[in-house]
Structure 1
């Protein structure tokens, strides 16, 4: 089936025809401002003035510009093109007024008016705002627009009675003119919400489509950021963790990153210039070809169209441990990287290299109870947990535009890395039956050397502005050699050593299409196939795994815009899974429903509610029967009999403007996979089995700008988790928060940030829990140098104890076995992070029209 899928993909790409980016419009009696906002053009206009004209049209146009000319035909407006922005300006009424006096050949001097237009909320200057001088009958006698600094200067030979200022996303303002020929000063415009049919654009340039929220990147958002991942931190609910160099969405790290609908690695986004990004989309519920992957959400970066240019980027992030107890670990992390991106009208290719080195030495204590024995670790001078990670990543790809609306691309990643862990304890063992004590040493060392290759080929196309198609084929290979050694010293000397090899081969095939039935209705359908094989073998010739899994999935979704206030997207995916663990095979069929509704309650409030179901699949380490000795009692072994599970996710998002959002969620996983403890013969094993999980959470995010330079951003999460297995129930709860205040002055090209991050979370197990993440305070200073080519960021994590949990705990309480392991993180406070980036880039957006002023001399046919 896989060769057939490859052939079909190439036939599809080969048979694709070249077509222009045509535009289809089907509207009935809708205001002109709403219709214009559907065009894929950057526009600036006075919303109130254009809303007075209603439009009815059912017609295809050669391109968006032709549609713009047709819509403005026979209307009192002219269009001027400034860079890539189409400014729609009312035509002036400069007819002579009889009251105007002329002395000979000398006319009275013209009147001059100037001022500055800014946002009432942020104080930012508004570019391309429309400024009109009106006579006593409110008829424009002179019109202009503001510069990039929000300034305007207009001259007229007539005495105006008032002035009107309008800008997309702001309330139109009228002011009477009392002093002629003067400075009108600073004029503030208030935010407003403008309904746009399928989208709603706010003053912060935020739009909410049927199943995702789009944030248009503004010049203010680009301040103080050096790459795409740092830019994502400007979005409400998204947090870029500098300590782990990863992106979180509402405190979830399992996030899929897309660029124009195609999956890309974090390596690529760490080198992508923020100047290339048009918007960022946030999707909380996955569907389509991603429905069977365990993603808590999707972050998509939408690139600017018609962009050509290059990026050369180098960076390095170094962690420096300033603690007195660092012990040969002064530089725990080092992340140098280098990359380039080159884009022409038809071609885009890129290449990156990244090296990651992490090293940690933690003090830890451990207590165990098994059968009649109790073990407690002694305090030792040297760290008990040592960790070393080295990783090399090479990433590259090329995209080719077969036509303006068709792309064929390929990309690949190769990773080679090694991980070494060492746990050393001096244990005191007590026989509870006779209180006999003795001491021994326990040392467990694991060495993993892994190679990973991923390659993909994709095609994207758009036909007649109605049909969008996507197809990809991917191949993934993973090979891992693992060495496990255990040494017990003392009276009973015991040694164990084994070598394992395991690998994974995986292919994926996706077809997906979306067809717009009308401007407010569309249908999507897709097919996916994923084949994977897991295998492992010990050097002793035992524990052989040969696991095969083949998934076939078909999906269909329907989207409907009922009104400006109500939107609905619903669908279903049908999935068939065949798995074989080397002994027995199993067929599983599932139905995965999906529904999403968006209701606009008020001009600033909205409600989104949704439910989705997706599948989760066992990982290699959960399936592999290889034995890994953990300590003197415990051995870990996989379970090749575990199967996939279904994750049910229900949520609501209540938005009070774009500043405050509340998101209650519930997640239920039926027959999820968790570690359990079982005794076989005389050994205690940590293995895996199917149990039920539930999680209830509430996310509260707040995002507020104060003036031009200061911004406050916070996300607070409360959670409660349950695990149920064999009529037993375990529960944990907690809360997390990341909150920071950011001050950045563009004239200084410098800023400072102060934040508190409570990121340590309890993760439930059937018989206990384990904690992950870190808590810390942070003070960060940033400075851009050499015309923003160099970015220097210095973060300091102070040794503040308030609100910081330094003990990372794993706790187990089972009838057979009890464990409490506490890892002390205080040795990493204080810490200093120095991140330096150097970027040489140049880019422009292609101008489809050479003239800055569009003259309607040749009007399109009706």
Structure 2
């Protein structure tokens, strides 16, 4: 737990961050220095890919004025020049993304998805920053947005990369303060837990001459209750447990989180061809989960009621992360060098007590060191018809666990993953693009005395065909390799209850996944999409029957032994995405899909179908600075392993209103979740193995009924062009790698 002394120290850190955020206002008012417009092409997308006809051809400008929306494609990327029309009605950078095909930004929750996926990475001037920070920046700071589905290099694994480009001659200061509170009335979160969540956020950005300084801090506190019941039968042991249901407003599980994060970053631009960025983040946090329930126990024909109390905690968590990133250009070659290191330390505590005198306790001290970094070089050839890139990124994870009291080592593990890739793009015409990425991933895992090394290929092919402005096609194939988690690779085992034993498997193979996707876009408003992925080396927890002779009685004792194994899996998703401004006031976003999942291992297999959908209707009154929104979402979650099946489909209806005050400097928002549902919301679970059979049930859909979310945001920004820009040619470089 964090002591009062630590809390005071963290409050002092908040004060320092606030001071650093406010002080530059005074300095900025006194000084201004020019910034050169000459800049490099993006390492993601060429700067020259922005057509010259999208730029006002006035020779001497204070600001590059975009006359109309312009979208340029090159390879697998799209570049959006930010026009006045695109900025209209947008208060933040996140809201700019609503004008991009396939993107959905929900202004109340600030959730960002791409074709229904939240696996999105955000950059500013080709540098990765905190996603919440980027989404809250002023739209006036940026002149271009690059969108790259399925990016390569160090961003391999994300569904889409979004790169915001700052105006090359922009100087200013910006700060954002946000406070949000979630209220779950009527005891829906448990009696006395109506105050469910609090989130406080502060950031400050100062851009002057060649230097950009960023500071942000946030603190989150939350408490959530739930009831999910299980029945467990151990047939070989003639033993079973059935959890008894209780009042749904008296949750048997209560989860608490207290999380603070402070981030400082400085970016320095030596000249148009060289830039250096440093970032540091400290993150203290605690988590506590408690479980209380009553069971009906059948033991060899005897029945009794047994109470259980369990407490799981992550105590004294502290994470420090340091990062250094260099961006440069040498001739026509772009260079990206980065090195990052994170150190995490925490105490893992688990205590289980039952009224039948069974007790389980483990108390561990865990440490993890994580290094990731590498190099990326690329350039265009032949009047931007050919693109060539090389990247090499290394990821090293070192885990160590010891007994908290004795200091005796429990487990240690080291994973090294070295990825070497090459990328080639061919652009034969403005309508057709080909991309091919290939390389190898060298994987090494050392756990105890066991050392496993594998070298796996990685292949990716992408075709983009845009014959007209009314139709576009993108098809892609990807094969990639990932490492099992540390917990899956542990070289030891332990009983997690009286009849269940869990162990890791150091002999696990790397997880090789193959993925194919198809995107059909019509009129830049409607997109039909399909995704299929499969793996023959997925990792699953497989239970088998095990036995041992007890020391006290000499009798045979039977239990279920879980061990991680490699198995097969596949998933298919088919969906559509539609967005349209229905009028000057109304806009509509719709995304819906259905997903099928399948998993198998030896003679075990399971499959599940689930639907998901999101409907967002917005009504904007510009003169009154009021935005009203109605959203309906269906959240379908289905997960299978060879031995388990679980499925739940819930929905919610949200009515929200936002009001801007003080010339958009202050935003007040209120969201209300209606107590109306179309789906049943039942959670179902089943598990079948030789000596453990489980069923699960529950319904948590009611917890959001009548929930209120209050949000207040204050933003202040000053920005201006510090020098007139003389365009040397008609084809000006709008935006840059930096």
TM-score bracket for this pair, using the shorter chain length: 0.7 to 0.9
SS at structure 2 position matched to 1:275: helix
Give the drift of 1:771.
Answer: 5.2
Give the drift of 1:332.
Answer: 0.8
Give me the whole-angstrom Cα distance separating, in 1, the residues matched to 2:501 and 2:705. Answer: 34
Give me the whole-angstrom Cα distance separating, in 2, the residues matched to 1:685 and 1:504. Answer: 27
Match of 1:420 in 2: 288
Say whether residues 1:253 and 2:118 are aligned partners.
yes
Match of 1:393 in 2: 261
Summarize the Cα distance change of 1:405–1:288 in structure 2 as closer, same or farther, 3 Å threshold. same
Summarize the Cα distance change of 1:542–1:731 in structure 2 as closer, same or farther, 3 Å threshold. farther
Say whether residues 1:509 and 2:373 are aligned partners.
yes
Pairing partner for 1:647 from 497, 505, 513: 513
Give me the whole-angstrom Cα distance separating, in 2, the residues matched to 1:815 and 1:36. Answer: 63
Pairing partner for 1:780 from 652, 656, 667: 656
Pairing partner for 1:321 from 184, 189, 192: 184
The higher-RCO structure (CA 8 Å, 6+ apart) is 2
Summarize the Cα distance change of 1:325–1:468 in structure 2 as closer, same or farther, 3 Å threshold. closer
Say whether residues 1:478 and 2:490 are aligned partners.
no
Give the drift of 1:274.
Answer: 3.2
Match of 2:706 in 1: 830
Say whether residues 1:742 and 2:618 are aligned partners.
yes
Give me the whole-angstrom Cα distance separating, in 2, the residues matched to 1:23 and 1:339. Answer: 29
Q: C-alpha deviations, 1:599-630, integer Å up to 9, x for none?
A: 12333101111112222222233334576765
Match of 2:3 in 1: none
Say whether residues 1:817 and 2:684 are aligned partners.
no
Give me the whole-angstrom Cα distance separating, in 1, the residues matched to 2:160 and 2:495. Answer: 36
More displaced, 374-383 or 214-223? 214-223
Give me the whole-angstrom Cα distance separating, in 2, the residues matched to 1:208 and 1:262. Answer: 21
Give me the whole-angstrom Cα distance separating, in 2, the residues matched to 1:416 and 1:711. Answer: 41
Rg larger in structure: 1
SS at structure 2 position matched to 1:701: strand
Give me the whole-angstrom Cα distance separating, in 2, the residues matched to 1:221 and 1:628. Answer: 57
Give me the whole-angstrom Cα distance separating, in 2, the residues matched to 1:786 and 1:550. Answer: 53
Give the drift of 1:757.
Answer: 1.0
Q: C-alpha deviations, 1:502-521, integer Å up to 9, x for none?
A: 22112222111112212221
Superposition pairs for residues 248-287 of structure 1, below 5 Å? Answer: 248-287=113-152
Asked if the contact 1:543–1:625 (Cα under 8 Å) also holds between the matched residues in 2, the reply is no
Q: C-alpha deviations, 1:523-562, integer Å up to 9, x for none?
A: 1112222222112123466772221122322211111111
Gaps of at least 5 residues in structure 1 are: 1-17, 25-34, 46-78, 87-126, 129-167, 169-202, 855-862
Match of 2:77 in 1: 212
Match of 2:565 in 1: 689
Summarize the Cα distance change of 1:354–1:776 in structure 2 as closer, same or farther, 3 Å threshold. same
Give the drift of 1:21.
Answer: 3.1
Give me the whole-angstrom Cα distance separating, in 1, the residues matched to 2:48 and 2:96. Answer: 29
Summarize the Cα distance change of 1:479–1:769 in structure 2 as closer, same or farther, 3 Å threshold. farther
Gaps of at least 5 residues in structure 2 are: 1-34, 42-46, 548-557, 731-738
Give the drift of 1:576.
Answer: 1.6
Summarize the Cα distance change of 1:835–1:638 in structure 2 as closer, same or farther, 3 Å threshold. farther
Pairing partner for 2:403 from 538, 545, 550: 538
Summarize the Cα distance change of 1:84–1:765 in structure 2 as closer, same or farther, 3 Å threshold. same
Give me the whole-angstrom Cα distance separating, in 2, the residues matched to 1:767 and 1:792. Answer: 48
SS at structure 2 position matched to 1:332: strand
Summarize the Cα distance change of 1:565–1:368 in structure 2 as closer, same or farther, 3 Å threshold. same
Give the drift of 1:687.
Answer: 4.1
More displaced, 307-316 or 810-819? 810-819
More displaced, 248-257 or 829-838? 248-257
More displaced, 242-251 or 273-282? 242-251
Give me the whole-angstrom Cα distance separating, in 1, the residues matched to 2:590 and 2:183. Answer: 27
Superposition pairs for residues 25-40 of structure 1, below 5 Å? Answer: 38=50
Say whether residues 1:525 and 2:393 are aligned partners.
no
Give the drift of 1:325.
Answer: 3.8
Match of 1:453 in 2: 320
Match of 2:431 in 1: 565
Summarize the Cα distance change of 1:268–1:774 in structure 2 as closer, same or farther, 3 Å threshold. farther
Pairing partner for 1:355 from 216, 219, 224: 219
Asked if the contact 1:369–1:375 (Cα under 8 Å) also holds between the matched residues in 2, the reply is yes
Superposition pairs for residues 359-374 of structure 1, below 5 Å? Answer: 359-371=223-235, 372-374=238-240
TM norm structure 1: 0.73
Match of 2:64 in 1: 85
Asked if the contact 1:257–1:263 (Cα under 8 Å) also holds between the matched residues in 2, the reply is yes
Match of 2:463 in 1: 597
Summarize the Cα distance change of 1:23–1:830 in structure 2 as closer, same or farther, 3 Å threshold. closer
More displaced, 402-411 or 252-261? 252-261
TM norm structure 2: 0.85
Give me the whole-angstrom Cα distance separating, in 2, the residues matched to 1:852 and 1:515. Answer: 23
Match of 2:38 in 1: 21
Give me the whole-angstrom Cα distance separating, in 1, the residues matched to 2:48 and 2:396. Answer: 46
Summarize the Cα distance change of 1:471–1:659 in structure 2 as closer, same or farther, 3 Å threshold. same
Superposition pairs for residues 596-745 of structure 1, below 5 Å? Answer: 596-624=462-490, 633-681=499-547, 682-745=558-621
Give me the whole-angstrom Cα distance separating, in 2, the residues matched to 1:252 and 1:328. Answer: 35
Give me the whole-angstrom Cα distance separating, in 2, the residues matched to 1:242 and 1:480. Answer: 35
Say whether residues 1:586 and 2:598 are aligned partners.
no
Give the drift of 1:358.
Answer: 1.3
SS at structure 1 position matched to 2:151: coil
Summarize the Cα distance change of 1:852–1:461 in structure 2 as closer, same or farther, 3 Å threshold. closer
More displaced, 519-528 or 651-660? 519-528
SS at structure 2 position matched to 1:780: strand
Asked if the contact 2:373–2:395 (Cα under 8 Å) also holds between the matched residues in 1, the reply is yes
Give the drift of 1:243.
Answer: 8.3
Asked if the contact 1:566–1:599 (Cα under 8 Å) also holds between the matched residues in 2, the reply is yes
Let me know the Cα RMSD of the aligned residues: 3.0
Pairing partner for 2:55 from 15, 32, 43: 43
Summarize the Cα distance change of 1:338–1:469 in structure 2 as closer, same or farther, 3 Å threshold. same
Give the drift of 1:846.
Answer: 4.1
SS at structure 2 position matched to 1:622: helix
Match of 1:763 in 2: 639
Give the drift of 1:470.
Answer: 0.8
Asked if the contact 1:285–1:612 (Cα under 8 Å) also holds between the matched residues in 2, the reply is no
SS at structure 1 position matched to 2:195: coil
Summarize the Cα distance change of 1:509–1:564 in structure 2 as closer, same or farther, 3 Å threshold. same
Superposition pairs for residues 139-178 of structure 1, below 5 Å? Answer: 168=68
